[in-house]
Amino acid sequence: MSFTDILFAFAGLFGLFSALAVGVLSLTWLERKTLARIQQRAGPSVVGPHGLLQPFADAMKLVTKEDIIPAYADKLLFWMAPVFVAIPAFLIWLAIPFGDGIAVRMLDLGLLYVVAISGIGVVGLLMGGWASSSRYSMLGGLRAAAQLVSYEIPIVIVILSIAVLVQSLSLDAVIAGNTITVGEATRDLPGQGLIPFAFVMPMGFVIFFIAGLAELGRTPFDIHHAESEVVGGPFVEYSGAHWAVFFLAEYLNTFVISALIVVLFFGGWSWPSPPESIFGHDLSGTTTNFVGGAWFVFKSYIVAVTIFWIRGTYPRLRIDQLMTFAWQVLIPLSFVNFVLIAVVLFYDWPLWMMPTLSLPILIGAVIGVQRGRGVRGRPQTVRVLRRSAGEIGRPMPNAPTQTQIAGEGHAGD
């Protein structure tokens, strides 16, 4: 590795991180505007036109705010926790391709890299939760760990299915296609420029999107920092710059999940293929890469707005519903998806067999979840309340004690 290589690496990192900072600021503005629209408010509108400078004002405020560390906190871990969450969030971006072969580092094992690095952030949340020495933080940290570890499994299995489909772990091959060999048969898998994998693997897409939401800890999966239950979860005791770093990481992760959905299921920079010319200007060659990159970023923003939209319109799940959903629905479905793609490739069936086989299963699963909702997911407390509402004045038969009710809530975990 020569000196210029190192110089280029640093320049790439610097450029990427600056771009990401701007991306994060724009995402906070976008989220507040989206939520405001959903809730029939104006949202940020004072600082700058349409409140566009609000994120900068917020950043200023957070950085200059007093940084409070609780007296009983474990100082070192308290300091390190936000860093542990933020660094992986930045590092994932090294492997994301913005154009044909354009990434800070084009990795052969890009898919595995993304999965591996994103797993470290959980430790930061646990660390922050424990170091704050507050019950709410601790509970929030444990909830975060339980949730993130559970939802990581369907994500990994779906990514594995995609790796099986393209017979490569490189994100470049996922977009540009690959020549794949299964047993004796060899075939050219066209890149996502023609058919995005969302249409090849609709079930995988749905699983990845839902599990991705859960990995972000966004509504409806924000149980680990739910205000009404654990106040702010692992972030309760944080303020000022530390808190800002946590939220920087959260928005970075939102952006990275959006980008990954675009790369894995909507063809990254290649689908629908960016125009060859605009207003008579020829865009072929290098310029196409810029157009492709802009196209990719634009699509990522669309996915991010969808995520904000879901946050604005869906209520939060309970923790037992959340875990049941991961283990009883998403993980089995992701395995079905994985086996399906393997079977389709092994018997050399055409690729449209994949959606035809998986869509009925997906629809069946949705109906099953809808039907089973009231039966298994209803906690003891709700049943007790209903019963007592119907039988006011009469003592409840076999009335459970407070401890039993509290204990029942965890039975489904």
Partner 1 sequence: MTAQLIIFYLLGAATVLSSLGVVLTRNVVHAAFMLLVALLAVAGIFLVAVAEFLALAQILIYGGAVTVVVLFAIMLTRTDDQPRADHSQRALAMLAAIGVFGLLVVAFVVSDVASLESATGVATDGETGFENLALGLFTDWAIPFEMASLVLLVALIGAIMLARNLEDGE
Least Å from the CB of residue 95 to partner 1: 11
- Residue (163 or 198) nearer to partner 1, CB: 163
Per CB under 8 A, 245 contacts partner 1: no
For residue 216, what is the enclosing H or E element? helix 202-216
Is the previous residue joined to 220 through a cis bond, with omega within 30 degrees of 0?
Answer: yes
Position among 27, 94, 115, 322 found at the interface with partner 1 (CB under 8 A)? 115
Token duo for residue 371: 């039907």
**Contact call for residue 200 and partner 1 (CB under 8 A):** no
- Sign of the Cα pseudo-torsion (151, 155, 160, 165, in order): positive
Q: Which stretch binds partner 1 (CB under 8 A): 144-152, 180-188, 236-244, 314-322?
A: 144-152
Q: Which of 26, 91, 54, 90 is nearest to 300 (CA)?
A: 26
Residue 329 corresponds to which tokens in the numbers above? 């629905």
Q: What is the total count of residues that contact partner 1 (CB under 8 A)?
A: 28
Residue 146 binding partner 1, by CB under 8 A: yes
> Does residue number 73 form part of the binding site for partner 1 (CB under 8 A)?
no
Q: Can residue 149 be called a binding residue for partner 1 (CB under 8 A)? A: yes
**Is residue 159 a contact point for partner 1 (CB under 8 A)?**
no
> Which residues have C-beta within 8 Å of that of residue 42, sequence separation ≥ 6?
36
Does residue 119 belong to the site contacting partner 1 (CB under 8 A)? yes
DSSP strand pairing (281-282 vs 185-190): unpaired
Among residues 89, 142, 157, 365, the one that binds partner 1 under rule CB under 8 A: 142
Nearer to partner 1, 100 or 408 (CB): 408
Interface of this chain with partner 1, residues 120 to 139, rule: CB under 8 A: 120, 122-123, 126-127, 130, 138
Residue positions counted in the chain: 413
What tokens does 356 get? 């035809």
Report yes or no: 269 and 96 within 8 Å, Cβ to Cβ.
Answer: no
Alpha helix (H) ranges present in 39-120? 54-64, 75-91, 110-118
CA-atom Rg of the chain in angstroms: 24
Per CB under 8 A, the list member of 13, 21, 57, 77 interacting with partner 1 is: 77
Among 116, 283, 310, 357, binds partner 1 (CB under 8 A): 116
By the 10 Å C-beta count (0-12 exposed, 13-18 middle, 19+ buried), 338 is classed as middle
Given the rule CB under 8 A, which residues bind partner 1? 1, 74, 77, 107-109, 112-113, 115-117, 119-120, 122-123, 126-127, 130, 138, 141-142, 145-146, 149, 152, 169, 410-411
